[in-house]
Amino acid sequence: MKNVILGIALAALVTPAVAQDFPERPIQAIVPYSAGGSTDLSLRIFADTFERLYEGAEFVVRNQPGGGGSIGTSAALNARPDGYTLGSGAQGPLAILPHLGGTDYTIDDVAFVGLFARSLQVLVACKDAPFSDFGSFIEYAKGTPPQIGNSGAGGANHVSAQAFADAAGIEIENVPYNGSSDARTACVGGHIDAMVASPAEALEQSEAGNMTPIFVMEPERIDLFPDTPTAVENGIDFTWSSWKGIIAPKGIPEENLQFLRDAVEAVANDEEFVANMTDMGEFVVYEDAETFAARARKDSQMAEKVLKDLGMYGQNK
């Protein structure tokens, strides 16, 4: 009798794996940006890792750029809900663009699968800026709004800089540029006071004497800048980072969706994946669907408030 019970128990344990017939054909993930960017490269590393971990399965990356990421994101969210067409869950298309208007989706249309990386952000003082640390930056801003460059009006860096200013109770002058490289050039040339940069970018330019890290937009200090504080430790409840995850249309069969969620966790915890992503300057961190959704909704709410305050809400309708 004991052997029978043991056999039933073992069968129950292996049944999900045996019964799993998904995926039966290639899974594709739509990247809403052109090939060669950090989101595209990250998804390709993800795809390679997925295929290595799930022998015989195929994971294809398809680029569908346009509309600041909204076209590819729309294609993913309006795909057949069978689990074979996914999307790259990026902050701009999900948390910001719907508030500007012109998208045929909102964050409520998203089935979150999992988050596997975040791109950290650092506010830096530019060359010859009238401040050099967090305290002097805040003190300067109390008298004169500092000029803070961004990669485009209504973009993530614009939103994050303004959201921080609101949280800190200071005024800033947002200066939009046609992309992050133009903003960086202006910063290095001393034409603006500050900008939001990636840690790798901030490290390279700070070592060259062109930028000075003011604070990192994380809850805690980061290894790359152990002497650079956070806003949180200075009494300002503000964090921000862009993120990379996997999303899907709603309505996918639960067993297929669970497979995909487990797969994101497996990939994000794979040592080779972590090493490859870290070499590219990405901060690998796994968040399950619920945590990922909470992060996305928090950023969406923050962006909505900022864009309304700036008079930009719904401007693309």
pLDDT means per 10 residues, the chain with 317 residues, are 43 40 96 91 97 96 94 98 97 96 96 96 96 97 96 90 96 92 93 93 89 96 94 96 96 97 98 94 94 97 94 90
Instruction: Identify whether the C-beta of residue 115 lies closer than 8 Å to the C-beta of residue 244.
Output: yes
- Pick from 39, 186, 37: which is nearest to 124 by CA? 186
The predicted pLDDT at position 4 comes to: 42
Structure tokens at 299: 């950023």
Domain final position from 215, 234, 253: 234
Number of separate domains in the chain: 2
Tell me, yes or no, whether 214 lies in a domain. Answer: yes
Instruction: Identify whether the C-beta of residue 180 lies closer than 8 Å to the C-beta of residue 151.
Output: yes
Domain containing 269 — which CATH number? 3.40.190.150
Domain final position from 202, 234, 266: 234
The predicted pLDDT at position 316 comes to: 86
Give CA 108 to chain center in angstroms: 18
Domain containing 144 — which CATH number? 3.40.190.10
The predicted pLDDT at position 92 comes to: 93
The predicted pLDDT at position 20 comes to: 61
pTM of the model: 0.85
The CA–CA distances, whole Å, from 60 to 42, 123, 139, 160 equal 13, 36, 50, 32
The CA–CA distances, whole Å, from 220 to 2, 104, 163, 216, 240 equal 53, 37, 18, 8, 12
Which region holds residue 87: left if phi is over 0, alpha if psi is between -120 and 50, else beta? beta
**Based on the domain organization, do 128 and 56 belong to the same domain?**
no
**Cα 87 to Cα 46: distance, rounded to the nearest angstrom:** 13
The predicted pLDDT at position 178 comes to: 87
- Which residue in the block uniquely carries the two structure tokens 């303004």? 162
**Based on the domain organization, do 53 and 29 belong to the same domain?**
yes
The predicted pLDDT at position 203 comes to: 87
Residue type (1 letter), 288 = D
- Which residue in the block uniquely carries the two structure tokens 């344990």? 13
**Cα 110 to Cα 267: distance, rounded to the nearest angstrom:** 21
Domain of residue 65 covers 25-119+242-309
The predicted pLDDT at position 9 comes to: 42
